[in-house]
Amino acid sequence: MAGEGFVLGVDLDGVVADFYGRLRVIAAEWLGRPVEELSMDGSGISQWGIGEGQDDYERLHRFALTERNLFSTMDPIPGAPQALRGLSRKGVRIRIVTHRLVFKRLHRQSVMQTVKWLDHHDIPYWDLCFLGEKSAVDADCFVDDTPEQVERLAQAGKRVIVYTNFTNTSFDSTDPNPNTDPNPNTGFDSTRARFSGAEGKVSRASNWDEVVAQVISLTDGLADVGRGP
């Protein structure tokens, strides 16, 4: 097949799974606040009133995962399952690369809910990688939404498509001469990890049609890839 041998490294949360949309509903319930009060306008989830520290977030995350099945109840990002099925049918090897094993004693539920969710939405994959150091994984192209991950992958010389969402809109991954301001959403100082030698390897996509188009442009003979199953 035309795309045979091409490996696409795909992040889940914020890219294939609507992590923030589901977490927002659970957080509103947990906080006892109307969901509309929890902003999705670019100010980040730190504005939701969860608290500032890792412990504050961990309490919500643990509740969401163990009591509300966070990873098996999210909606897919529109078009993602169809796009991945279309690419897979053309021989593109889908390699899921996710940093979901964040907190102790949640790994079993995190993995089981993830696999259940992938099957439930008929999302094809050959490999399923749970790790934070994504640059340790090989792929011809990655799709990710977290600025820190994008920076590290680009710094390692990887080709990255940044999936645009409210957590990264102010992050200019394509600017080779960034200013010195840390990213206001994450506090991450992008100037300390600028992708030297990786110019032209980072681009943005706002939807899965754009991701598919860019993957097609990276491979020969995939022009007839469709989104339908």
Q: Which residues bind Mg ion (CB under 5 A)?
A: 11, 13-14, 145-146
11 in catalytic set: yes
Choice between 162 and 216, CB closer to Mg ion: 162
Closest distance to Mg ion from the beta carbon of 184 (Å): 18
In the complex, minimum distance from the CB of residue 218 to Mg ion, in angstroms, rounded to a whole number: 21
Give catalytic status of residue 209 as yes or no. Answer: no
The catalytically annotated residue of 11, 18, 144, 145 is: 11
Cβ nearer to Mg ion, comparing 202 with 222: 202
Reduced 3-state DSSP string for 112-181: HHHHHHHHHCCCCCCEEEECCCHHHCCCCEEEECCHHHHHHHHHCCCCEEEECCCCCCCCCCCCCCCCCC
Q: Residue 189 and residue 180: Cα distance in Å, rounded? A: 8
- Decide: 143 and 163 in contact? Cβ < 8 Å: yes
86 close to 136: Cβ distance less than 8 angstroms: no
Minimum distance from residue 53 beta carbon to Mg ion (Å): 21
* Residue closer to Mg ion (CB basis): 102 or 156: 102
Residues classed as catalytic = 11, 13
